[in-house]
Amino acid sequence: MAILEVNGIQKDFGSTQVLKNVSFTLEEGNALAIIGSSGSGKTTLLRCLNFLDSPSRGSIEVKGETLFDASWQASQKEKNLRLKRLHFGMVFQSFHLFPQYTALENVTLAERLLAKERTDFKQHKRDIYEEIDEHGKALLEQMGLADRISHYPHQLSGGQQQRVAIARALALKPDILCFDEPTSALDPELTGEVLKVIRGLATQKTTMIIVTHEMAFARDVADQIIFMDDGMIVEQGASKQVIDSPREERTKQFLTRYMEG
């Protein structure tokens, strides 16, 4: 059974259709890469999946539960929106770390805030916080940042900041980890260290959706690739098939232009 089912998503901004009847499924433990030119709708799709934007039409299901249906009344769409977002972890292009917090504090902040809602929080506050901090340290160690837990964002390189952002996204144990062009703000030297982390997550069968302009990376790491153009899915298939032997002429044109560029 698919962990994610996206059915007929459309997103309108005024009279402009940015997403047009987008449908796909994602199996648990798989990585899906989304490629396409700037303005093709990739980031908007990711924002709709994370409920940062509300689709104009369509539905989103995770683990068989309908989290969003555009036919619902507005009150239903907004109900438990924060809980719905917990199904997805989001890693943005520009890190979005809190500059006043250390690496560890950035990773553990959301978990600490959620812990306050636990019925046993007042009774076991110290133990709960210690457990959260240990979890945060383990995630930073996984990212190769064990020696940077007390550093502030301005003391970290761009690649290190993005790895902190990945640890933060993993902290709440989301069903699906989403990346919005995670290397676009990095120079080539730092790009490699972030891609290495994502490769490791793929090896561990972390369910991921990766919007990326790194074609070779998408081919090697993703199980499936979606190519989008003008708000639509033009082609979808196994990663090596889409990159090496695209079936659609528009996909061929995009890849040829990318390789020549």
What string of pLDDT tens digits covers the 261 residues of the chain? 799 999 999 999 999 999 999 999 999 999 999 999 999 999 999 999 999 999 999 999 999 999 999 988 777 777 788 788 899 999 998 889 999 999 999 999 999 999 988 888 888 888 999 999 999 999 999 999 999 999 999 999 999 999 999 999 999 999 999 999 999 888 888 899 999 999 999 999 999 999 999 999 999 999 999 999 999 999 999 999 999 999 999 999 999 987 665
Domain for residue 169, yes or no?
no
Spatial distance between the Cα atoms of 237 and 234, rounded to a whole number of angstroms = 11
67, 33: one domain:
yes
Answer whether 143's CB lies under 8 Å from 115's CB.
no
Contacts of 40 (CB under 8 A, 6+ apart): 228, 229, 230, 231
Q: The domain containing residue 148 runs over which residues?
A: 97-164
Report the DSSP beta bridge partners of residue 211. 34, 180
* Token pair for 50: 């994370």
User: Same domain, yes or no, for 62 and 178?
Assistant: yes
Cβ contacts of residue 193 below 8 Å, gap of 6+? 144, 159, 163
26 shares its domain with 138: no
pTM: 0.93
How many domains does the chain contain in total?
2
185 touches 193 (CB < 8 A) = no
**End residue of a domain, out of 134, 164, 194:** 164
CA distances from 190 to 41, 186, 215, 260 (A): 26, 6, 17, 23
The encoded tokens of residue 139 equal 């995630």
> Which run of H or of E encompasses 238?
strand 232-238
Residue 261 belongs to a domain: no
Same-domain status, 31 and 158: no
Buried b (16+ CB within 10 A) or exposed e, 65-81: eebbebeeeeeebeeee
Cα separation, 143 vs 133, in Å, equals 15
| The length of the chain, given as a count of residues | 261
